[in-house]
Amino acid sequence: MPTQDFFNLRDREIGGRRRQPTQPRSVPSPYKFSRTLRGNEGLVRRLGMEAKHQWHDGCVNTVHFTPSGRWLITGSDDQMVVIGDWQTGAVRLAYNSGHRNNVFQAKTLPFSNEQTIVTCAADGEVRVGVLQDDSEVATRRLANHRGRAHKLAVDPAS
């Protein structure tokens, strides 16, 4: 059973739970969150492994919770993207990202109903994958950098 610390970290990753305006904020601001937990030895000691999944053949470089919190999206040196249930370990979908090198980051795009995933990789490409159904993903290149593309910034307002 996942611990409360796990849910707090997950909520921080996906921006917190939805709340009514009259309810207190359940997740601190990014600044307060990092200041509160930085060097928090008690938190680090309480962290534990919730699960270990064998979804990839290479080193996993990115783990991203979908906005609903139900799925994990992972990317790896094997150039695959996997969407899986973090609690049961069941793989919803695994697909070739289209990259020619290690996938460094994978995220869902806002307002896509968790059906559009953007990735970046060591080949310098930024690619987008659209889940057409639970068995097929169409990917295409959005951009190409001269060097490696390590991180993505997704603007929820766009």
* pLDDT tens column, 19-59: 445 545 555 565 665 666 666 677 777 778 778 889 999 89
In 3D, which of 96, 104, 89 has the Cα closest to residue 55? 89
Question: pTM, whole model, 2 decimals?
Answer: 0.71
The C-alpha torsion from 74 through 9 and 47 to 114, rounded to 10°, is: -20
- The predicted structure's pLDDT at residue 105: 95
d(CA 102, CA 120): 9
* pLDDT tens column, 111-143: 888 899 999 999 999 999 999 876 788 899 998
Mean pLDDT over the full length of the chain? 81
At residue 29, φ and ψ (nearest 5 deg) are -60, 160
- The predicted structure's pLDDT at residue 38: 63
Interval 66-77 mean pLDDT: 91
pLDDT band at 60 (very low <50, low <70, confident <90, very high): very high
For residue 106, the one-letter residue type is A
- The predicted structure's pLDDT at residue 26: 57
- The predicted structure's pLDDT at residue 20: 47
At residue 126, φ and ψ (nearest 5 deg) are -115, 125
